[in-house]
Amino acid sequence: MAGEGRKLRVYGMALSANVVRVATVLNEKGLDFDLVPVDLRTAAHKQPHFLALNPFGQIPVLQDGDEVLYESRAINRYIATKYKAEGADLLPAEASPAKLEVWLEVESHHFYPAISGLVFQLLIKPLLGGATDTAAVDEHAAALAQVLDVYDAHLAGSRYLAGNRFSLADANHMSYLLFLSKTPMAELVASRPHVKAWWDDISSRPAWKKTAAAIPFPPAA
């Protein structure tokens, strides 16, 4: 059981896609956790008590008993491995191990840089009182379109990224796909039939619905 009966702790903000990435995997595993608020707007992530957990001053941080981890993808790999027998198996034998590693890397090096910049400009920056940079939006949208074209071609022959079973590779994408869906650029997914079918599939999972319901998105304008 998690932490030998102790609840896991995730330090961060509920409206952070990187925190949601970790919550996605914890909920797929059916693991109880507490979200310990760390408000970036007040620079709480740069205070000594938080820097003792993550010297880079970034969220999220996972505390599992005496184990303290940072970097959301490393956290998710830890959860998927340590708690493999609990909840959904995110490292399933039916998934190709090689494809799993490839798509974990693709998410980190191709998908994330394009989509995170777009979400920041269209969703996060306005929430912080900033003005959207339309040139940056165009640049990131073009980059993401190219990436999603590759995904669409791949998913034409594969239900999930690493084969025919949902895996950690799929889970690591979900937070930013949801955040994108709250922006005018949601069409980048909707206009690609195989990407849309994949997103419709993975976003219908009960664990994901629990994750998404906990995100405090502002009311639509």
Residue 220 clears pLDDT 70, i.e. is over it:
no
Average pLDDT, the chain: 94
Lowest-confidence pick of 27-31, 80-84, 124-128, 164-168: 124-128
Residue 215 pLDDT exceeds 60: yes
Report whether pLDDT(5) > 70.
no
**pTM of the shown model:** 0.94
Across the range 180-200, mean pLDDT stands at 97
Here the tokens at position 131 are 């003005």
Q: Would you place residue 2 in the very low, low, confident or very high pLDDT band (cuts 50, 70, 90)?
A: low
Whether the per-residue pLDDT at 1 is higher than 90: the answer is no
Structural domains of the chain in order of their starting residue, each with its CATH number: 8-81 (3.40.30.10), 95-211 (1.20.1050.10)
Which helix H or strand E contains 62, and what residues bound it? strand 61-64
The residue-averaged pLDDT of 21-29 equals 98
DSSP 8-state code for residue 123 = I
- pLDDT value, residue 94: 84
Phi, psi for residue 37 in degrees, rounded to 5: -65, 135
Mean pLDDT throughout 77-90? 97
**Above 50 in pLDDT, residue 37?**
yes
- pLDDT value at position 44? 80
212 pLDDT more than 90: yes
CB crowding 34-56: b at 16 or more within 10 Å, else e: ebeebebeeebbeeeebeebbee
Residue-wise pLDDT tens digits, 146-168: 999 999 999 999 999 999 999 99
| pLDDT tens digits, 47-70 | 889 899 999 999 999 999 999 999
Average pLDDT, stretch 70-83?
98
Res. 3 pLDDT band, cuts 50 70 90: very low
User: In degrees rounded to 5, what are phi and psi of residue 34?
Assistant: -105, 135
Return the SS3 of 39: coil
